[in-house]
Chains A and B, each alone.
Chain A
Amino acid sequence: MTKAKRKRLIYNLITFALVIGAYFIIQNMIAEKTISRLLKGLLVPICAWIVMAVSLNLVIGFSGELSLGHAGFMCIGAYTGTIVSGWLLAAYDMQDTTLRLVLAIVSGGIVAGVFGALIGIPVLRLRGDYLAIVTLAFGEIIRNLVKWLYVGTKDGELCFSFLNKDMPKGVKMLVDGAQGTKEKIISTFPAGVILVLVTLLIVLNLVNSRAGRAIQATRDNRIAAESMGISVTKYKMMAFVTAAVLAGMAGALFGLNSTTVEPKQFSFNQSINVLVFVVLGGLGNVLGSVISAVFLTVLPEVLREFSDYRMLAYAVVLILVMIFTNNPLIRSFVDRLISPVRALFHRKKDTMPGGDLQ
């Protein structure tokens, strides 16, 4: 095995081990009832945001396209999941919530993927900031349209209406316009963790495969990739649609974790939040996305008592982090400060015996 490959394998193993380890620790805490109510309520959303961040990283970090409409796909997933779950219950009397959740998540992913493909075809012809604003526009359009969507079930049948709430009497509403979705909570933490693991498997395996290399090649140099015979559109599309599917699944998980989700929860501010997770976690760094999604979801909730100052502090920290990590002068200064420490570690590693064993 080559050095690069081994390094990658270790990185992937650490990523999986961390997620699985965290899962068992938390399950243990739940069993011993040492987990705070606040954290317990956050478990499923954390999983959903991890999936969102990792999938957005596929688009931004690996395919190099700035998408600002990721919450739109999550919205589609949440709505689809709710409708499918409600319909399965009404039409087939499916009481098994696990099966319903799985089917809801899968269908949320599929529908979001279809939308991803429909949106991707026109959008991916654009570049850079144009692509960013158009994805933002699509996200906002989706959110504005579902505000006018009414779906309910009556006698095992689905009824739809758009713009006007035109529903038969005695209908059980699933989606009620600007009021959002109405469904019982069926998402569970283990389901969330499984979705996170599936997402990690898909994204990590994809980027370390032929298709994933092609995706990264289109990021690094579009024209060179084309002249190597790589269809840029195909691979940009692959990354975009895969990310949309994953976001849709995250949406279904998220949507079925509360009795109601409203369209305004999926505004562009939410897309931007996920973007911040990705950038702070590091572009192309999947483990980084996981960690930053966890921290940035938990931290604001824990700091709720300082409500007035926490967002202010968050803004200041965000700006400072960006300046400190991106300004060449500050960066070289920091590097110089930590280089003796780093050198210490490196020397240690180099003189380690058995380094040649391969």
Chain B
Amino acid sequence: MSFLELLINGLRLGSIYAIIALGYTMVYGIAKMLNFAHGDIIMVGAYIAFCGIQNWGIPPVPSIMLAMLVCTVLGVAIEGLAYRPLRQATSLAVLITAIGMSYLLQNTALMIWGANTKSFPTTFINNSSISVGELTIPSATLITIAVNIVIMVSLTLFTSKTKTGKAMRCVSEDRGAAELMGINVNRTISLTFAIGSALAAIAGVLMCSTIPSLAPTTGSMPGIKAFTAAVVGGIGSIPGAMLGGILLGVVEIFGNYYISTDLGDAIVFAVLIIVLLVKPAGLLGKPMREKV
């Protein structure tokens, strides 16, 4: 494979990571929690879309919409039922709850869809490709990257221009002060989970069109890697999630090709460690200072 092709594959994988990382980074920024179950929402989204096309005969685009809707409801429900009662609890208690939620989603999926790996239809997104000179780019790759760019731009505009978006930034800066300013913190957090989960559904579909195998544990590892990407970019920062996601995606593809397959994961995590050693708050993160 040529360098350019690898780079494009890296961008595709990186775009998927970036979209998942957005969910992590927004939730972390606003609720200050590591939502371990986020990766499993991706899996749920992919399953819904899969069932939509394969079993229920719904065309692809409405299937994705359905997956987004289900994931949004699911994300909001999880937040309301499991995380909201723990607003005042230690971060460790919330983390364990999120881990429990992750187990719950995985095992529910196991009961509904079984342990067998499902082969995700790759013809799902138009199977054609575009040739530029000697380079052949599958249109799925272009769609993935384009979707990523659209999401980034619209989220950036949303948080900087709209009133709701600004409220989200307020809550992430100082929850107490935001509450005093009359911002409904609970509703803002719910909204964050809604957006993050809808994005997870999209990411799930895009991911399974790239690697067409779907099982109840499918979301777990990409979830961890996307969280890694969010931390690399600077957790809480939307451009950071983009940067971190793309960086890790490209590094993984190159690592797999030039060094060794299956060592990609190790290399991705090594990048995280190196970045945090140089910049403890991530590439675009703001360092925190304890007030004495």
Contacts and interface: CB of A to CB of B under 8 A. Distances in A.
Contacts of A268: 224
Contact of A315 (B100, B265, B276): B100
B91 to A, nearest CB: 7
Contact of A318 (B86, B91, B100): B100
Interface in B221-242: 224, 227-228, 231, 235
Contacts of B100: 315-316, 318-319, 322
B227 A148 contact: no
B146 interface: no
B91 A128 contact: yes
A233 B175 CA distance: 31
Interface in B73-89: 82, 85-86, 88-89
Nearest to B87: A327
Contact of B272 (A137, A322, A329): A137
Given A311-B107, A318-B103, A322-B96, A163 B260 contact: yes
Interface string B236-265: 000000000000000000000000101101
B121 to A, nearest CB: 27
B228 A133 contact: yes
List the 10 closest A-B pairs by CB distance, nearest first.
A318-B100, A137-B269, A315-B103, A326-B89, A315-B104, A144-B266, A319-B100, A327-B85, A326-B93, A312-B107
A147 B224 CA distance: 19
B6 interface: no
Interface in A107-138: 122, 125-126, 128-130, 132-134, 136-138
A283 to B, nearest CB: 7
Nearest to B282: A130
Contacts of B265: 140, 144
A131 B193 CA distance: 24
Nearest to A142: B266
A322 B263 CA distance: 36
Interface in B83-124: 85-86, 88-97, 99-101, 103-104, 106-108, 110-111
A290 to B, nearest CB: 19
Nearest to B265: A144
Contacts of B104: 312, 315-316, 319
Given A133-B227, A133-B231, A147-B262, A279 B93 contact: yes
Nearest to A132: B34
A275 interface: yes
Interface string A283-325: 1000000000000000000000000100110111011001101
A130 B280 contact: yes
Contact of B101 (A133, A272, A315, A327): A315
A126 B276 contact: yes
Interface residues of A, number: 46
A137 B40 CA distance: 19
Given A130-B280, A145-B266, A322 B260 contact: no
Interface string A317-358: 011001101111110000000000000000000000000000
A17 interface: no
Contacts of B94: 322
Contacts of A322: 86, 89, 93-94, 96-97, 100
Given A144-B262, A319-B97, 16 more contacts: A125-B280, A137-B269, A140-B266, A140-B269, A144-B269, A222-B290, A268-B224, A283-B92, A311-B106, A314-B103, A315-B101, A316-B104, A319-B82, A323-B82, A323-B86, A326-B93
B89 A327 contact: yes
Nearest to B272: A137
B111 A130 contact: no
A141 interface: yes
A133 B96 contact: no
Which of A132, A134, A145 has the largest number of chain B CB atoms within 10 A? Answer: A134
B168 to A, nearest CB: 20
Interface in A183-203: none
A315 B97 contact: no
B1 interface: no
Given A66-B92, A163-B260, A322-B100, A137 B107 contact: no
Interface in A138-172: 138, 140-141, 144-145, 147-148, 163
A315 B97 CA distance: 9
A197 B224 CA distance: 35
